[in-house]
Amino acid sequence: MGRFLLELLKIVLVTALLLVISFGVWIYFRGTQPMDIPEARGITFWQFIQDRWNATQEADTRVSALPQYLGCRNDISYYFPLNLRGSFNFAYASLNPDSKLAYAFKYWEEQKPDEVLPKLKPVNLSGVPDAFWSYFERAYWRALVSIDYMAAECKLGPVNFDGILAGK
């Protein structure tokens, strides 16, 4: 009996590892495609993240020189778990439009409309990855570009499209 449970545990762990690896490969692949945001001008998600990372480093260098500031928070790392969870929730709500979670998304779409985040619409199982990715990339765009004005001294500034598009 103990040997059977050990083998079952191995199968579960290998399956979980394969799922995590395939999810990582999928995220990498989707990040190499142009963003589905008109303001992004066709840059890829990874180009966008690289630009924001460089802007974060510049802002941190600039702000660290000021005596009253310790430095800037890296919002790319900070928003990753939040955007990941939000994307899973949005994908679930899209798949189950009658769930409480879907009603919560619809409530906020009506009460505080946001032109950057995608609108909830019912999808079938094959549309869940697109719903997930749409929310994920748009949530990052919203956090790192649209509401970056709230960062005060740590503001990242506009996306360097000239530098990104010249590198293509």
> What averages of pLDDT result for each successive group of 10 residues across the chain (168 residues)?
92 97 97 95 96 92 83 89 97 97 95 94 96 97 83 85 84
Sign of the CA dihedral 37, 41, 44, 50?
negative
pLDDT score recorded for residue 168: 59
Look up the pTM and report it: 0.89
Determine the Cα–Cα distance for residues 138 and 140; give it in Å rounded to an integer: 5
pLDDT value of residue 148: 72
What pLDDT does residue 73 have?
84
- Res 10: pLDDT: 96
Q: What is the pLDDT of residue 3?
A: 93
pLDDT at 106: 95
pLDDT at 150: 66
Q: How many CB atoms lie within 10 A of CB 46?
A: 14
